[in-house]
Amino acid sequence: MRLIQRAIIGLAAAFFLFATVPARSEAQDLSSLGSLSGILSLLTSLAPPALPAYYQPPAPAQNLIWQPGYWAAGPAGYFWVPGTWVTPPQPNLLWTPGYWASNPGGQYRWVPGYWAQNVGYYGGINYGNGYNGSGYTGGRWQNNTFYYNTAITNVNRTVVRYVYSDRGTNEYNGSHVSYNGGRGGVNARPDSHQIAWGRERHYAMTNAQQEHVRIAAQNRNYLQAVNHGRPPNVSVQRPLAANNRPAGFAPIRASDRAHAQIRQSPHQAMPIRQAPKQQTRPQHQQTQRPQPQRQQAQRPQPQRQQAQRPQPQHQQAPKQQAHQGASPKGGSHQAQPHGRPSPHPLGQ
């Protein structure tokens, strides 16, 4: 009887502790959003593509916030999530976009976006339409009403009445780089205000935002391997949903996932980068492998081989000079990795 009473008391205490702990659903990140965990929490060694330029559709209603488009990663590789107008969880909240961050190991990790009273740090990525790398200049909240800056934001004036114009806040720099850090990435760090705002209460993506990502992840035409960095329907006026799929929607194939697993595997991606160095060593080793076999076949004449050893040294010397003479060609191959951040001229 005492054991039963103790068990009941223990369960009651556990329930009380659980009830007093504040819920984390309002501060969760994308890694805890069910089926989205396999889409946006992927760690890849392939750099995200450049951000495409696109036209912002007009805001279809009052108090909607612009969510810029971005490249997400899933089992089938990078795919485009169109920019769209979304409803915040509650008034007076602003959207801080997510961004890709490079770690010292050469891998890229997605840092999810969130809702808060201030726009925090998003890697210095220039998403455009008010998200120019720091803060947001497309509008502001006032008395539970969102006022749109028509100098930057496109709105439907027949529906949206609360507007203003401030051209001095537009600091678009024309960059299309989609990740922070690493080779060719944006070199930006959070300031003191962004660090403080990062400690504010955060609200996760709404259900409509999550559904928007899921539908985009199912569209084969949004895959970077299919559109080569130029996705169709780059922006949409309302979030994607089961009853609001993009035009020309096509489901992803099993072959798309198979090829993406090969490209995104960190174990296979690293040898690809080191291939120029690893190929030169086996070639020299292969040319030397037949020599020991010939020496074994000529064992009865070891003295003659020793006498002829100085001759290959004279023959190898011209070969080294030939490699030195061909160094400009080799130098051009070594210069290619430094020129890899080509999204700058291509994006512009």
Report the C-alpha gap between 175 and 188 in whole angstroms: 13
Which token pair is 71?
């490249």
Tell me, what's the pLDDT at 95? 98
pLDDT tens track for 82-130: 999 999 999 999 999 999 999 888 899 999 999 999 999 999 999 999 9
Asked if the structure places residue 98 within a domain, the reply is yes
Residues 111/62, Cβ–Cβ less than 8 Å: no
Tell me, what's the pLDDT at 169? 56
Beta strands (DSSP E) in the chain are 65-67, 70-74, 77-81, 84-86, 94-96, 99-102, 108-111, 114-116, 126-128, 131-132, 139-142, 145-149, 163-164, 179-180
Q: What is the dihedral of CA 35, 40, 42, 48, to 10 degrees?
A: 150
The per-residue DSSP string of 84-145 comes to EEE--SSTT-EEE--EEEE-TTS-EEEE--EEESS----TT-EEETTEESSS--SEEEETTE
The answer to whether residue 328 scores a pLDDT higher than 70 is no
Asked if the structure places residue 330 within a domain, the reply is no
pLDDT, mean over the chain: 74
Tell me, what's the pLDDT at 274? 34
Asked if the structure places residue 247 within a domain, the reply is yes
Element (DSSP H or E) covering residue 323 = helix 310-325
Asked if the structure places residue 261 within a domain, the reply is yes
Question: Which range marks the domain in which residue 107 is found?
Answer: 34-270
Asked if the structure places residue 228 within a domain, the reply is yes
The CA distances from residue 318 to 246, 308, 312, in Å, are 64, 17, 10
**How many distinct structural domains can be found in the chain?**
1
Which DSSP symbol is given to 338? G
Asked if the structure places residue 295 within a domain, the reply is no
The answer to whether residue 260 scores a pLDDT higher than 80 is no
Residues 250/221, Cβ–Cβ less than 8 Å: yes
- Sort residue 139 into left (φ over 0), alpha (ψ -120 to 50) or beta: left
pTM: 0.66
pLDDT tens track for 125-162: 999 999 999 999 999 999 999 999 999 999 999 999 99
Report the C-alpha gap between 130 and 127 in whole angstroms: 8
Give the burial class of 307: count Cβ atoms within 10 A of its Cβ; 0-12 exposed, 13-18 middle, 19 or more buried: exposed
Asked if the structure places residue 319 within a domain, the reply is no
Asked if the structure places residue 101 within a domain, the reply is yes
Report the C-alpha gap between 218 and 284 in whole angstroms: 48
- Sort residue 152 into left (φ over 0), alpha (ψ -120 to 50) or beta: alpha
pLDDT tens track for 270-312: 332 333 344 444 444 444 444 444 444 444 444 444 444 444 4
